[in-house]
Amino acid sequence: MSAAAASAAEALRVLGDAEITAAPPVPIPFGDAALPATSAFGAHLGFDAIAWAYAQHMAAVQGYLVELRESTYATAEALKAVADLYRRADEAAAGR
C-alpha cells in the first residue's frame, strides 16, 4: 500500500470513529415570522448553527477521504499493471 493510501485510510478510520451529529439550525424568530439562516452559521452565531455546519463539513470531509482512498487504490493497481506490462516487454525483448 502506498504512503498516500495508508494516510487516507488512517484519516478515514479516525474520522469514522467520531460521531458528529447535529440538527439543522433553528430559524431565528423575528416578531411573528421566522427568518431562515442566511449563512453556514445561520443569521447569528448560535451553537446549534455552528454544530450543524461542523457536522456538514465533517460529513463532506469523510466523503472526500473515501474518494481519495478509492482513487489511490485504483491508481496503485493501474501502476502495477503498467509495471507488469513493461516487465513482460523487457523479458520478451531479452528472450529474442
pTM, to two decimals: 0.49
Secondary structure tally for the chain: helices H, strands E? 2, 2
| Cross-strand partners of 34 | 29
Each residue's pLDDT, cut to its tens digit, for the chain (96 residues) gives: 667 667 766 766 666 666 666 666 665 555 444 545 555 555 555 677 777 888 888 888 989 999 999 999 999 999 999 999 999 999 999 887
pLDDT of 32 reads 46
For residue 31, what is its C-alpha cell? 416578531
pLDDT of 26 reads 60
pLDDT of 28 reads 55
Give the span between the Cα atoms of 17 and 10, in whole angstroms: 11
CA angle 27, 30, 35 (to 5 degrees): 40
